[in-house]
Structure 1
């Protein structure tokens, strides 16, 4: 199927679960938080996506995608620690922006793999290094920055109103 190995198919399916959970969390909660079901699904699926990705070597050995997986796991750890309040007064901001950043990280290989494989037989781009993909990554990063700004603004408004918008109350 589109040149995917069995592990590649499993990896792709898990990543689609993560992306779906994130999109639903953004619409429902305006962000990802490990305090609720969607956030937990996102975190677990993202960890599994990274781990299964380490076994895929389409372009030789350990490459850029593997480095992105390591960085994603590190940022997930940072987000989790922040979500536990372990990073001080700015924990909610760090958690929110970090989870959003990991979502952006999902989109980079998603757009790359989709654009180099589809449509079948005549993909949109010839190579993962295509200029169009670099431009798309830049646009996605700009959207991440806008989204992060809006989330931080929402958190600040919540502080003024003494609520924590993305966190469940105890």
Structure 2
């Protein structure tokens, strides 16, 4: 089956890590409205996203260093910034926004290779997309980004509202 999907062993591990990360991220969003390391699904998301990004740096199936590697590095940088911001405190000004929106942005980042790799391999023998430059694929990634922006707006509004609520001692 791995040969049919054109996956190496590392590629298979990388894909499995990404699937766990995405599921955990969706669970964190559904349960808590955000991804953060203070919840089990949030922590699983962050750890598995880091593992996915690191393993992605060692996959050179299509030549040398390229856009997937840049996305892995960008993901690691955003995760590090979000983690740092989260450590500054749940109500420390801009830090709360950086943490919540940063983790959510990395969930969008998972969408890009997820759609690309799945859509250029499946269905077997007649993949949905001709390649990474396929206009339909680009449109779907664009729609995914719009969904991220709507979600980020909702999350930012929720953070803003929570700051307006009186603190009950």
Moved over 4 A (4+): none
Partner of 1:58: 61
Deviation of the 1:65 alpha carbon: 0.3
What TM-score comes out, normalization by structure 2 length? 0.93
Q: More relative contact order in 1 or in 2 (CA 8 Å, sep 6+)?
A: 1
> What is the number of residues matched between the two proteins?
163
Deviation of the 1:58 alpha carbon: 2.1
Question: Distance between the aligned counterparts of 1:162 and 1:112, measured in 2?
Answer: 46
Q: Deviations over 1:79-132 (max 9, x none)?
A: 001101179511111101000100000110000001100001110011111111
Partner of 1:96: 100
> Equivalent of 1:3, from 3, 6, 13?
6
> Equivalent of 1:22, from 6, 21, 25?
25
SS of match in other structure, 1:124: coil
Question: Distance between the aligned counterparts of 2:70 and 2:18, measured in 1?
Answer: 17
Gaps of 5+ in 2: none
Partner of 1:115: 119
Gaps of 5+ in 1: 164-170
What TM-score comes out, normalization by structure 1 length? 0.92
* Kept after mapping to 1: 8 A contact 2:25/2:42: yes
Please provide the CA RMSD for this pair: 1.4
